[in-house]
């Protein structure tokens, strides 16, 4: 789950086809990986997003897609 490993795996997956989207967790290392992949032209889907602020962080990192998760009301 570290940035270097995710980056290596993301590059391998992106090489499969031009329409591949790499799925990344919304963690600090996931956002670092997202930023690097975006600069390389690789699209990513950032998951485990629980708030609007987290979605903004993912968007600023260059995520092409963001998958929000809903927390049930308590």
Residues annotated as catalytic are 23
Q: Is 70 exposed, middle or buried (0-12, 13-18, 19+ CB in 10 A)?
A: exposed
CA distance 51 to 6: 23
DSSP-based three-state secondary structure for 2: coil
């Amino acid at each position: 789950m570290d940035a270097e490993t995710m980056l290596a795996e993301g590059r391998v997956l992106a090489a499969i086809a031009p329409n591949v989207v790499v799925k990344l967790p919304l963690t600090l290392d996931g956002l670092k990986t997202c930023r690097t992949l975006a600069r390389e032209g690789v699209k990513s889907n950032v998951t485990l997003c629980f708030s609007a602020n987290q979605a903004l962080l993912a968007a600023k990192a260059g995520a092409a897609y963001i998958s929000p998760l809903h927390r049930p009301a308590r």
